[in-house]
Structure 1
């Protein structure tokens, strides 16, 4: 029996949650999140002239939807992220924004090293990957600076043993000719790999010497260009704040007011919500929160080290949430979990619960 979608939409609640769009076979086509489920899902069925072609195609195949309610928009964000990762719906892949995160790839196999900008690293494919980076423009500037400084601008990268146009212009060191120049090219990229790994700074040292040589020769235009190239390449080592914050593996306690009478507690680490619980806003919950903090953070085995591409979306969601003003949050140092420091933890929790950031419930106007 056909489902009357307009009637089903009318009965949706005005609360946060996740919706799952399905086709006639029950396959999930798209997963989305909303601060206000009813308003968001209704938007698919009105103003069709303003929809993108992909949205119009989605609506054409839409035959049913499910939804999952959450207490907060933040939970809806995190649940959407989790479901997209596990289900991989077709239209989420089609509508993914023009690749928010990019990587530098350098091939290690064959005679010819190759350096590219890619969106999806592939494991065990004979390449090394560095990233994620959020600004394609900055990465492109850095790679072009490297190529300009070390004459890596070969216009015949497959190497046919004949000089390319850029070789005659002086911007290719001769990789296209094979032989020693090709090995020199590969050696430079190997040093660049060491630079990105933080183990070899000779690339920057050589670039700095080029800048000094140009300055000594009173070629200040070239010196200025080398300076810009050095800054661009150096920027590749500067991590985005969200990535740096996530890799520090903080013990995070966040509290958000859901309604006039209810608050929501989240205990988070890295890109995971370890525990969440709703409480009456008037109840004395310090001791219960402290017990959960100790239980979930003490000797926690969450992963450490570089953030992976699988964690990046959740990392951004958590970081934006903590800095959005929607919640009050506290970072718990490891030593506060020791019994002799529980009095410090008690005082910090009292301050957190009295923080003005979570005194106002959200307005659901999406």
Structure 2
């Protein structure tokens, strides 16, 4: 294995750490395999106990080089789901993801609680599943409830002010009457926000934060700020689900060097096809026709768009969604009309225009 460490390439890719029997212990990815893999075997006080145990059991390495970091991310994701390595906990766990569920108690009061991402919710409003850890989502949920004063600590079925009413964290839904009505109104607005129907609650939270700060009530301003940040975090995660459910086919381009880029056709949670593209080549029509042929083949074996995302699909969808947002690649969303019969001319024209813009932008550089 010493020879393997010396001969690692300084390129993007995936590494698989194996035990003495060839079993896969861990799958990881890196933009620079040489730098990343060697870091495991350098004695360091910063290594966690888990990492130390892993390194002690590693007897062999397998490397898979990719052209781009994006491919490394996607390959790592697929291999973890296929191989279920011992030390890749999150992606392989059936309980890795959580939902936020609106639960209705015996007295009719509603509360936000954490649920399992693979668990049916019996018709209750449910948001997610979220790919962040249960602890992270739970912390965000607590901040939201405290900020909106719906962190009721009352026992289900009982009426009377809970402890959080006196702490300013509960509007008094547990007391019934007018306070319960206000509690329900806030809960309705929060559900509408989480469902993407009404964002006015977020605007009101920002105004309240600014007013509290202007009145030097910094504790209240901080509560509002924490609630806004937590809501933004959960809404951003929701966007991944929405993105994948749209089931659009996207042409994505990532630069390899001064001359070449790599083109990808992606959909939902996976790469459909990829090829290298010489930006200085003049025959963009040939590349466009090659991509169109792949799209026609894809249409013949089109997967159903209506089914709910599985846990495995969410990971891939999040990688694609994040890559489209981070600005390192260019992309073109292919319109449905272009992919239908009669839309071939518009599709080819759109792809050729994308390739022409790609060549011009990469050659001239930023600014």
TM-score per shorter chain, which class? 0.5 to 0.7
Query: 1:90 matched to which residue of 2?
Result: 86
| Number of positions where the alignment pairs a residue of Structure 1 with one of Structure 2 | 336
Measured after TM superposition, the shift of residue 354 of structure 1 is 1.3
Paired residue for 1:331? 333
Q: 1:89 to 1:180 in 2, by over 3 A?
A: farther
C-alpha contact 2:252 2:330 (8 A) present in aligned 1: yes
Q: Take 1:144 and 1:196, find their aligned partners in 2: how far apart are those partners?
A: 17
| 1:142 equivalent in alignment to 2:139 | no
Q: Are 1:313 and 2:315 matched, yes or no?
A: yes
Corresponding position of 2:57: 61
Q: What whole-Å deviation, never above 9, does each CA across 1:11-57 have from its counterpart, x for those lacking one?
A: 22222211111223322111100222222211111133231222111
Pairing 1:294–2:281 present: no
Spell out the pairing of 1:44-123 with structure 2 (5 A cutoff): 44-93=40-89, 103-107=99-103, 115-117=112-114, 120-123=116-119
Distance 1:287 1:16 in 2: 30
> Is the 8 Å Cα contact of residues 257 and 359 (structure 1) preserved in structure 2?
no
1:271 pairs with one of 253, 269, 274? 269
Q: Unpaired runs of 5+ in structure 1? A: 212-220, 361-366
Structure with bigger gyration radius: 1
State which of 248, 254, 257 in structure 2 corresponds to 1:256: 254
Which residue of structure 2 aligns with residue 43 of structure 1?
A: 39
Is 1:25–2:21 an aligned residue pair?
A: yes
RMSD over aligned Cα, in angstroms? 5.1
- Cα distance 1:255–1:188, how it changes in 2: closer, same or farther (>3 A)? closer
The equivalent residue for 1:363 is none
Conserved? CA contact 1:256–1:326, under 8 Å: yes
Please identify, of 58-67 and 327-336, the stretch whose mean Cα deviation from structure 2 is larger: 327-336
| Residue 341 (structure 1) aligned to one of 328, 346, 352 | 346
**SS at structure 1 position matched to 2:9:** coil
Separation (CA, whole Å) in 2 of partners of 1:228 and 1:349: 43
**TM-score of the pair, normalised by structure 1:** 0.67
1:153 corresponds to: 152
**Gap regions ≥5 residues in structure 2:** 209-216
User: In the aligned structure 2, how far is the partner of 1:199 from the partner of 1:283?
Assistant: 44
Task: Return 351-360 or 158-167, whichever deviates more.
Answer: 158-167
Note if contact 2:91-2:312 (Cα within 8 Å) is conserved in structure 1. no
Shift, 1:63, TM fit: 1.6
1:9 has 2:11 as partner: no
Residues 170-249 of structure 1: pairs in structure 2 closer than 5 A: 171=170, 195=192, 198=195, 238-239=235-236, 243=240, 245-249=243-247
Residues 105, 116 of structure 1: 8 Å contact kept:
yes
